[in-house]
Amino acid sequence: MYLWKYWRESRITFAVGVALVGLLLWAVLKIHMGAFGPGQPDDPSQLYLLIATPLTLPLGFLALRYGSFGVGSDLGRGSGSFLFSRPRSRAFFVWNDWSFGMAQLLLIVVAANLVLRLAVYRIAADSGPILLNGGPVSMFSIFLLHCAAGLVLAGLIFGLTYFSSVLARGHGAMIAIGVLVAYSIAKSVVKHYWVDINLPDVSLIEFSRSRFGIGFADHLGLEIALRAAVALAFPVAAQMLLQQRDVE
Amino acid sequence: MNDLAIETHALHKHYGDIRAVDGLEMHVPRGAVYGFLGRNGAGKTTTIRVLTGLASASSGDMRVLGLDPRTDSVEILQRTGLVIDKMLIPSMTGNDLVRFNRGFFPRWSDSHAQRYAEVLELDMKRKFKKLSTGNRTKLCLLLALSQGAELIMLDEPTSGLDPVVTDQLLRVMVEDFANEGRTLFLSSHHLSEVERIAEWVGIIDHGKLLLEGRLEDMRANFRRVRVVGDMPPLAEWPSIVSTNTGEGTTEFVLRSDADAFTAQIVSQGATVLDVTPLNLSEIFLEVVGKGKTHVSVEVLA
């Protein structure tokens, strides 16, 4: 029954998200198919990267929206006492919010990458495996990588926003945007003064670059696992915060 | 089984230097209609929050339906209907809220919900955010009363309601709930409403329970005694609640033993002008210190 409430709150975002990602995919494919020309793939791996990168923006936006639903919004609008006087533990509410939000984001990420995969396949059907760092990698591996990277990105932003919403009783999206902007600035400053130091990127670009041999990060699995752990730390922190705090 | 629905011992809840609940000793019998009275900021809402696990106690012991809210809040909430902030999920209609609530309570009654909606004249198809204050309160009560709870805790249930709606609500609460042997605990500062339905009363001020007992006993024992003449020293008389000295007369409010008191002062040469009973409103004003000379009152019974 609680999931029904979450679905009621998030269904418009879900529909908008699907439409937004679909529209963006269509627009980007239109542009790049024109640039590369059907049947004349310049480099399918580059094509995948070029098309996947713009998806970061709507995905980030959706993750911000999803993080604003659930317990944090109830605390913000004054219905927290009603919600938490339902006979369930506070952990129940947090993990239901988190699971259902992540499930919807997963659907969007996988659907978007499936469309992307099919489009790239149509453009570069006979190009075969891609050579990465001297070895062949199937397009399916790249599809999985992009799904994982997209999900981790969405999970990080979703978790951060969710935790911020609980912490500040609503207004989580504004705090999360502030944190993300501050981190981007810090990353640029560090890069400017200490060229050898690269703070991890939250977006999927870095994963793609590393897999394509353009950038760095040889330990892709570890990189994803670390980000996933950080993403998971946010709902854990939200739960702990709620268990410590009085509901006003 | 313990015969108390709610029991607290030396219960404290502090917010920094503010002692919202300060050593509360409360005993709510099972099956009683208990009026929890206090001024604004006396600690009523905080007490309810602590008892239902919405807020943590700073120290002290408490039992609700024989369970400890610190460790068993989920079970307590399953057996308790709570109306506290009167803010539900704004985008849901009454019917949506019934649907949402139903899944949480195994003893939920749709027929009760339907009946309360009719009795209280509630438009269940309207979104909560579009309801008036009175209708919001009614919907909160409908949800709490329909869940089949053993204990209902209501915080200021009639605030913001007109007299007609207040009357409807009080009737529903007494006829459909209290008469079934379940416990009704309502906090309020609307004394006349509490006086209509409560069997037991607790008066809280500055986080302390100043008086607790059967309303019937309070009415039978509280007396105002007006006296003229030379007054003997009476500071030691244990049942004096307040003393008010005017032009040639002294007025005492006693919580018990008025006959013994008058006999004592008459024997010492004073003249008793009259001895009058107090209603709940007068008792409340005396106990929370509106009398000129306030003396702490012990818990009755």
Task: Specify whether the CB–CB gap between B60 and B131 falls below 8 A.
Answer: no
Does a structural domain hold residue B211? Answer: no
Supply the pLDDT for residue B235: 60
Domain that holds residue B281: 220-294
Enumerate the residues of chain A whose CB falls inside 8 A of the CB of residue B92: 5, 8
Does a structural domain hold residue B299? Answer: no
B178 pLDDT tier (thresholds 50, 70, 90): low
Looking at the fold, whether B190 and B235 belong to one and the same domain comes out as no
Shortest distance between the Cα of B60 and any Cα of chain A, in A, equals 17
> What is the ipTM, given to two decimal places?
0.86
Enumerate the residues of chain A whose CB falls inside 8 A of the CB of residue B103: 1-2
- CB of B88 less than 8 A from some CB of A: yes
**Closest CB to A86 among B56, B91, B104:** B104
User: Which of A113, A108, A121 lies closest to A44, judged by CA?
Assistant: A121
Does a structural domain hold residue B300? Answer: no
pLDDT at B58 over 60: yes
Looking at the fold, whether B191 and B254 belong to one and the same domain comes out as no
- CB of B101 less than 8 A from some CB of A: yes
pLDDT at B86 over 50: yes
Which carries the bigger pLDDT value, residue A233 or residue B157?
A233
Supply the pLDDT for residue A207: 60
pLDDT at A214 over 50: no
Tens-digit pLDDT profile for residues A192-202? 898 888 787 77
Looking at the fold, whether B24 and B128 belong to one and the same domain comes out as yes
What pairs with residue B183 in β-bridges?
A: B151
Tens-digit pLDDT profile for residues A53-104? 777 888 889 999 999 998 999 999 999 999 999 999 999 999 999 999 999 9
Looking at the fold, whether B224 and B191 belong to one and the same domain comes out as no
Contact residues for A172 (Cβ-Cβ < 8 A; gap 6+): A67, A68, A72, A161, A162, A163, A164, A165, A166
Does a structural domain hold residue B169? Answer: yes
How many Å apart are CA B6 and CA A246, to the nearest integer?
A: 20
Residue type, B252: F
pLDDT-above-90 percentage for chain B: 54
Shortest distance between the Cα of A102 and any Cα of chain B, in A, equals 22
How many Å apart are CA B291 and CA B272, to the nearest integer?
A: 19
Determine which of A36-40, A58-62, B85-89 has the lowest per-residue pLDDT on average.
A36-40
Looking at the fold, whether B111 and B255 belong to one and the same domain comes out as no
How many Å apart are CA B29 and CA A205, to the nearest integer?
A: 65
Looking at the fold, whether B275 and B175 belong to one and the same domain comes out as no
How many Å apart are CA B211 and CA A164, to the nearest integer?
A: 44
How many Å apart are CA A168 and CA A179, to the nearest integer?
A: 14
Q: How many CA atoms lie within 13 A of A79 on its CB side?
A: 21
How many domains does chain B fold into?
2
Cβ contact, residue pair B49, A78, below 8 Å: no
How many Å apart are CA A98 and CA A190, to the nearest integer?
A: 33
Enumerate the residues of chain A whose CB falls inside 8 A of the CB of residue B99: 1, 4
Does a structural domain hold residue B35? Answer: yes
Does a structural domain hold residue B129? Answer: yes
Looking at the fold, whether B138 and B254 belong to one and the same domain comes out as no
Supply the pLDDT for residue A146: 81
- CB of B84 less than 8 A from some CB of A: yes
B18 pLDDT tier (thresholds 50, 70, 90): very high
- CB of B160 less than 8 A from some CB of A: no
Q: Which of A8, A13, A86, A93 to mutate to test the interface with B (most CBs of B within 10 A)?
A: A86
Looking at the fold, whether B119 and B233 belong to one and the same domain comes out as no
pLDDT at B69 over 90: yes
pLDDT at B293 over 50: no
Supply the pLDDT for residue A45: 60
A222: exposed, middle or buried (Cβ count in 10 Å: 0-12, 13-18, 19+) = exposed
**What integer is the mean pLDDT of B282-299?**
66
Tens-digit pLDDT profile for residues A215-232? 344 677 777 888 889 999
Looking at the fold, whether B164 and B250 belong to one and the same domain comes out as no
